[in-house]
């Protein structure tokens, strides 16, 4: 069990999450693997538990505004090059997991469970499941400087 705050558990449960939740990830795998984005084990495990959920959070957060996010890789369809380029730039294999702020930013996970904000720049929300808490409570991601 994760050590989430009661508020985070409430938001997750309101979105349809429950302990032991399992969804089929095959459609996401088959969507992205033909274009070079391989669903690694961390992406599989994360999406099996959280895929398809929408977190309707808003208002002030801890270090930034709380922004709604949706955990659905299909929302990143057509943006495969962005994920492939950032994977190469940071030396991690990114797989899309959804979007933040109604499509303003994408979300991705790497092979060691770190969750990223992906745009024309990249930032880390930290390792899952702590990253989910950061997203729900409004903790700004740490920007990654790439040479």
pLDDT computed for residue 72 by the predictor: 98
pLDDT tens track for 75-127? 999 999 999 999 999 999 999 999 999 999 999 999 999 999 999 999 999 99
- Identify the band that residue 147 occupies on the pLDDT scale cut at 50, 70 and 90: confident
* pLDDT > 90 in the chain, percent: 95
What CA–CA distance (Å, rounded) separates 116 from 99?
Answer: 10
pLDDT tens track for 37-47? 999 999 999 99
pTM for the whole structure: 0.96
Q: Closest by alpha carbon to 128, among 47, 59, 53, 60?
A: 47
Q: Is-contact 95 29, C-beta < 8 A?
A: no
* Ordered structural domains, the chain, with CATH: 6-139 (3.40.1580)
Provide DSSP, 40-84: -HHHHHHHHHHTTEEE---S--SSS----EEE-GGGGTT-HHHHH
């Amino acid at each position: 069990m994760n050590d989430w705050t009661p508020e985070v558990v409430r938001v997750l449960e309101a979105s349809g999450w429950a302990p032991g939740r399992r969804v089929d990830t095959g459609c996401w795998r088959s969507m992205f693997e033909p274009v070079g984005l391989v669903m690694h084990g961390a992406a599989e495990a994360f999406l099996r538990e959280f895929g398809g959920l929408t977190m309707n959070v808003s208002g002030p957060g801890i270090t930034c505004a709380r922004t709604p996010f949706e955990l659905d890789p299909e929302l990143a369809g057509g943006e495969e090059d962005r994920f492939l380029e950032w994977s190469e730039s940071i030396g991690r294999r990114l797989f899309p997991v959804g979007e933040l702020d109604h499509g303003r930013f994408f979300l991705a996970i790497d092979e060691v469970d770190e969750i990223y904000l992906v745009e024309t720049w990249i930032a880390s929300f930290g390792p899952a499941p702590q990253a989910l808490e950061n997203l729900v409570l409004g903790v700004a991601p740490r920007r990654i400087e790439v040479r």
